[in-house]
Amino acid sequence: MQGNITLTMIKPDAMRSGYIGKILDHIVSGGFSIRAAKVLHLTHYQAEKFYLVHKDRPFYRDLVEFMSSGPILAAVLEKENAVDAFRQLIGSTDPAKAETGTIRNLYGASIQENAVHGSDSDENALIEAAFFFNQFERV
Ligand code: CMP
């Protein structure tokens, strides 16, 4: 059975470019309910922890630097089959390859500075949601 939540981050590039409102509107218009949200600035350590699964990838160091370079918005989103539905809404990791009209196509700058994160599995959605929010911070 597919889960009904996913975890997103609006990344520092999109926050700096002032796309927060447009991206949230795109998400809500796409049928997702926002069950929790907050703006925060990840520390270097927190960014390392969040992306630990990528620690052996060549881009890991740069990714950690980038994700701790400025404020982000983290949110738990709800919709039927949320992980897959959200990945469709945001498009491919590389904005240059993302389908027209997807969030990364519209607002992403590069494969690293790709505007938003979306969980890649139901299991990771639960882990990532718990990374940012406790039970009293979610509805
Ligand atoms: P995200 O969906 O948050 O998951 C891992 C992140 O690593 C990804 O978005 C990009 O920001 C980054 N990333 C993935 N592949 C590459 C790559 N080849 N080069 C640089 N950054 C990457």
Answer yes or no: is 123 within a domain.
yes
**By residue range, what is the domain housing residue 63?**
5-133
Round to whole Å and give the CA distance between 132 and 50: 10
Nearest-CA residue for ligand 1 atom 11 is 112
Nearest-CA residue for ligand 1 atom 8 is 112
Neighbours of 52 (CB within 10 A): 10
Overall domain count for the chain: 1
* Contact 7 CB / ligand 1 (< 6 Å): no
pLDDT tens digits, residue range 8-59? 999 999 999 999 999 999 999 999 999 999 999 999 999 999 999 999 999 9
Answer yes or no: is 122 within a domain.
yes
- Model pLDDT, residue 3: 84
The percentage of residues in the chain with a pLDDT greater than 70, rounded to a whole number, is 99
pLDDT tens digits, residue range 45-103? 999 999 999 999 999 999 999 999 999 999 999 999 999 999 999 999 999 999 999 99
Model pTM?
0.97
Answer yes or no: is 10 within a domain.
yes
Sign of CA dihedral 39, 69, 104, 111: negative
- Model pLDDT, residue 122: 97
Q: Give the Å distance between the CA of 136 and the centre of ligand 1.
A: 30
- Annotation says 117 is catalytic: yes
Q: Which atom of ligand 1 is nearest to the CA of 120?
A: 2
Pocket test of ligand 1: the residue of 10, 49, 50, 63 to mutate, having most ligand atoms within 8 Å of its CB, is 63
Q: Give the Å distance between the CA of 107 and the centre of ligand 1.
A: 15
Answer yes or no: is 67 within a domain.
yes
Burial annotation 126-136 (CB, 10 A radius, 16+ → b, else e): bebbeebbeee
* Contact 93 CB / ligand 1 (< 6 Å): yes
**The pLDDT of residue 2 is above 90:** no
**CATH number of the domain encompassing residue 120:** 3.30.70.141
Using alpha carbons, list the distances in angstroms from residue 135 to 7, 27, 36, 47, 68. 15, 23, 10, 22, 25
* Residue 10 token pair: 């609006």
Over residues 109-116, the mean pLDDT reads 98
Answer yes or no: is 138 within a domain.
no
Q: Give the Å distance between the CA of 44 and the centre of ligand 1.
A: 16
The percentage of residues in the chain with a pLDDT greater than 90, rounded to a whole number, is 98
